[in-house]
């Protein structure tokens, strides 16, 4: 028998150990696909016990009848595969001032993987029993809260988003069967939308006329339309669900604190956005001297792009490197992101 694989948690930053929340160190962001052993992990209650029974997906129609679909039946549908960025809404929470309680993600609650599976649209039309009056699709995962007082992690998306051709139920990640930590055997993939919608261990889809009830849909993952200061209270009902990612970029190299030989230095990293594609990337090493960097991968909606720049310091010394991206809708990363109560969607210059 081969030896068991070495535990891989050491390559990631442990933000929480029970349930396990792991952050990717930035040096892994020099590759188009983030390797699974380095990919960030987030879950509210930890991974569920699976048992040995074959996985089934329940699809509950508007009339309330449940169709049980086996994985093999699901996989008779046409398969699709494409790369997409998965980012936690709270990535970068640690940078907000005043500080925000919650997981102190810095840079690496994000990754770009190749996802493959079947279209949610195909699953709903084949097994959903009709879409008349359906406004939202609820996703139930197999993970349960640790106590009856804790709300379940139940989320929903509007039907338009569920029917979008990019919305998948994925069984594979980077060409491998989806690991349990990432929601295997079946998870939601919603390119362009924050990670909280990418439900792992999907056991049931409910076709409904209303949003999912409960804390995680009705209270959590919401933001005011325009920023409020920490002392302002949002008017009731004014908070919007967090959905689309915003434009963002990170420097993968050189690492903070690096000592480098004199001469040309390569700066490299990644950039992405929610809607459209990133189309401009700039770096600054000295003051406000922003200079264009070069793309080293193609634009593709939902995925990130690698970039690179060469810079020769004018003198020996200490420098702060910065990068900022812009996207096809004309958005540019701000120097800092306006404060919001839960610390969502940080996209200040890296």
Ligand X SMILES: Nc1nc2c(c(=O)[nH]1)N[C@H]1C(S)=C(S)[C@@H](COP(=O)(O)O)O[C@H]1N2
> Pairing between strand 13-17 and 20-23?
antiparallel
Nearer to ligand X, 174 or 326 (CB): 174
Residue 241 contact among ligand X, Mo ion, none, beta carbon within 5 to 8 Å by kind: none
- Where is 159: in which H helix or E strand? helix 159-163
State in angstroms the smallest separation of the CB of 195 from ligand X.
Answer: 3
Which of 40, 105, 311, 344 is the binder for ligand X (CB under 6 A)?
40
Q: Is 41 in the site for ligand X (CB under 6 A)?
A: yes
Q: Is 88 in the site for Mo ion (CB under 5 A)?
A: yes
Q: Which residues of 102-136 are buried (b: 16+ CB within 10 A; e: fewer)?
A: ebbbbbbbbbbbbbbbbbbbbbbebbbbebeebeb
Q: Choose among 291, 300, 276: nearest CA to 323.
A: 291
For residues 191 and 314, the answer to whether their CB atoms sit within 8 Å is: no
Residue 43 contact among Mo ion, ligand X, none, beta carbon within 5 to 8 Å by kind: ligand X
Nearer to Mo ion, 41 or 285 (CB): 41
Q: Is 223 in the site for Mo ion (CB under 5 A)?
A: no
Query: What whole-number distance in Å separates Cα of residue 199 and Cα of residue 142?
Result: 10
β-bridge mates for residue 187, sequence order: 170
Which of 32, 115, 198, 346 is the binder for ligand X (CB under 6 A)?
198
Q: Is 195 in the site for ligand X (CB under 6 A)?
A: yes
Nearer to ligand X, 70 or 102 (CB): 102
Rg (CA), the chain: 21
Site for ligand X in 123-142 (CB under 6 A): 141
For residues 244 and 192, the answer to whether their CB atoms sit within 8 Å is: yes
State in angstroms the smallest separation of the CB of 157 from ligand X.
Answer: 12
Is the bond leading into 270 cis (omega within 30 degrees of zero)?
no
Instruction: Tell me the number of residues near ligand X by CB under 6 A.
Output: 18
Q: Is 113 in the site for ligand X (CB under 6 A)?
A: no
Which of 116, 196, 208, 337 is the binder for ligand X (CB under 6 A)?
196
Q: Is 166 in the site for ligand X (CB under 6 A)?
A: no
State in angstroms the smallest separation of the CB of 56 from Mo ion.
Answer: 26
State in angstroms the smallest separation of the CB of 155 from ligand X.
Answer: 8
Q: Is 195 in the site for Mo ion (CB under 5 A)?
A: yes
Interface region with ligand X, contact rule CB under 6 A, candidates 162-170, 198-206, 261-269, 315-323: 198-206
Query: What whole-number distance in Å separates Cα of residue 263 and Cα of residue 284?
Result: 17
State in angstroms the smallest separation of the CB of 218 from Mo ion.
Answer: 17
For the chain, the distance separating the N- and C-terminal CA atoms, rounded to the nearest angstrom, is 46
Contact letters for Mo ion, residues 37-56 (x by CB under 5 A): -----x--------------
Instruction: Tell me the number of residues near Mo ion by CB under 5 A.
Output: 4
Q: Which residues of 14-38 are buried (b: 16+ CB within 10 A; e: fewer)?
A: ebeeeebbbbbebebbeebbbebeb
Which of 74, 77, 85, 88 is the binder for ligand X (CB under 6 A)?
88
Query: What whole-number distance in Å separates Cα of residue 296 and Cα of residue 314?
Result: 26
> Closest CB to Mo ion belongs to which residue?
88
Query: What whole-number distance in Å separates Cα of residue 124 and Cα of residue 107?
Result: 36
Q: Choose among 339, 41, 333: nearest CA to 184.
A: 41
Interface region with ligand X, contact rule CB under 6 A, candidates 28-36, 127-135, 197-205, 328-336: 197-205
Which of 115, 127, 201, 272 is the binder for ligand X (CB under 6 A)?
201
State in angstroms the smallest separation of the CB of 344 from ligand X.
Answer: 11
Q: Choose among 307, 312, 266: nearest CA to 289.
A: 312
Residues 6+ apart with CB under 8 A from 53: none
**Chain residues that interact with Mo ion, rule: CB under 5 A:** 42, 88, 195-196
**Chain residues that interact with ligand X, rule: CB under 6 A:** 40-44, 86, 88, 141, 143, 153, 182-183, 195-196, 198-201
């Amino acid at each position: 028998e081969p030896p068991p694989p070495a535990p891989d948690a050491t390559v990631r930053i442990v933000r929480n150990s029970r349930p396990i929340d792991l952050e990717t160190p930035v040096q892994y962001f020099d590759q188009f696909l983030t390797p699974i052993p380095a990919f960030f992990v987030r879950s509210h209650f930890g991974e569920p016990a699976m048992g040995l029974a074959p996985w089934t997906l329940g699809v509950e129609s508007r009339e309330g009848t449940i169709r049980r679909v086996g994985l093999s039946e699901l996989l008779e549908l046409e398969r699709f595969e494409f790369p997409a960025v998965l980012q936690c809404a709270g990535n970068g929470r640690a940078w907000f001032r005043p500080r925000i309680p919650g997981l102190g993600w810095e840079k690496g609650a994000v990754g770009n993987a190749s996802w493959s599976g079947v279209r949610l649209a195909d699953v709903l039309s084949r097994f959903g029993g009709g879409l008349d009056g359906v406004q939202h699709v609820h996703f139930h995962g197999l993970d349960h809260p640790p106590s009856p007082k804790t709300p379940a992690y139940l989320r929903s998306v509007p039907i338009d988003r569920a029917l979008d051709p990019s919305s998948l139920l994925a069984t594979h990640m980077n060409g491998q069967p989806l690991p349990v930590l990432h929601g295997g055997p079946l998870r939601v993939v919603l390119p362009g939308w924050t990670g909280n919608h990418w439900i792992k261990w999907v056991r049931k889809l409910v076709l409904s006329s209303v949003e999912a009830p409960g804390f995680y849909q009705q209270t959590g993952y919401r933001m005011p339309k325009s920023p409020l200061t920490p002392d302002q209270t949002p008017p009731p009902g004014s908070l919007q669900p967090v959905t689309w990612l915003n434009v963002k970029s990170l420097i993968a190299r050189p690492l903070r604190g690096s000592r480098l030989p004199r001469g040309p230095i390569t700066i490299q990293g990644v950039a992405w956005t929610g809607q459209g594609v990133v189309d401009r990337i700039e770096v600054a090493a000295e003051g406000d001297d922003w200079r264009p960097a070069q793309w080293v991968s193609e634009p593709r909606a939902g995925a990130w792009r690698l970039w690179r720049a060469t810079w020769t310091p004018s003198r020996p010394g200490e420098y702060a490197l910065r990068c900022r991206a812009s996207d096809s809708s004309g958005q540019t990363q701000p120097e800092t992101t306006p404060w919001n109560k839960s610390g969502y969607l940080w996209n200040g210059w890296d």
